[in-house]
Amino acid sequence: MRLADQWRQVRSGLPEDWADAKLTLTLPRSDQRARAAALLASAGPGRMGDDLRVSVGRSGGAVGPDQLGKLLRKLDAERIRGTLTLVSAGERPVPAAVARTGLADAWARALATLPADWSDLYCQVSLASSDHLDRGALLLAPLNPARVPGRSAFRFRVAHSFGYGTSAEMAARCFARLDEDRIPGGLEILRVLSDTHNVDTQGPVWRVGGKAV
């Protein structure tokens, strides 16, 4: 099996909340070890006897999982054959603030700070990891979320009683689903309008970065 395929297999067996992993690359041909180390240079491989050791992580301090896959494909392209073995894997600790409260509770607290006559909100939910973007987008679909470029975050609108945007109750249900899936993150109400009256429109329009939202 090619090394890139071995990494995909190892990666699929890691815990959902894995943070980092240590791998051993065993190369039976001694003449290929130096070349393999050179191709893996950006991953900072170490030597243990005749084996190479590589660390991979989801955030900082080590090569990322996708980048490691690209490096291993370079070894495959040069017909460097070996065995990739998982040595250890560490799980990502849940931040204390997230462990104490979830997004549904954060949403309830945010609403409690608003004036009684609020009518329209422009909000942002930030996910703790980009690994949760696809699942988060699915669970937040009723909010019609818009991805924030370059960030693991979505923005959405909420209407109190009428107009454009989801309801506060629907938002609460979506955040409860994220909590059930153990997807940590943070919430922020970016803009608030009170006592708006829509006349032949769906509601007020905000312009952010030259675009209407």
Amino acid at 4: A
pLDDT band (50, 70, 90) for residue 100: very low
pLDDT of amino acid 61: 57
Q: Using an 8 Å Cβ cutoff, are 57 and 119 in contact? A: no
pLDDT band (50, 70, 90) for residue 148: confident
| pTM score, whole prediction | 0.49
The burial class, CB within 10 Å (0-12 / 13-18 / 19+), for 187 is middle
Which of the pair, 78 or 205, is modelled with greater confidence? 78
Taken in order of first residue, the domains within the chain and their CATH numbers are: 3-91 (3.30.70), 96-196 (3.30.70)
pLDDT of amino acid 180: 93
Q: Residue 14 pLDDT > 90, yes or no?
A: no
13-27, 40-54, 92-106: the lowest-pLDDT one:
92-106
Q: Tell me the pLDDT tens digit for each residue of 26-60.
A: 999 988 999 999 999 988 888 888 899 999 987 65
Q: Residue 158 pLDDT > 60, yes or no?
A: yes
Q: Tell me the pLDDT tens digit for each residue of 108-118.
A: 999 998 888 88
Distance of alpha carbon 100 from alpha carbon 97, whole angstroms: 5
pLDDT of amino acid 2: 94
Q: Using an 8 Å Cβ cutoff, are 122 and 52 in contact? A: no
Q: Using an 8 Å Cβ cutoff, are 139 and 67 in contact? A: no
**Distances in Å between the alpha carbon of 151 and those of 103, 127, 130, 147, 168?**
18, 9, 8, 8, 24
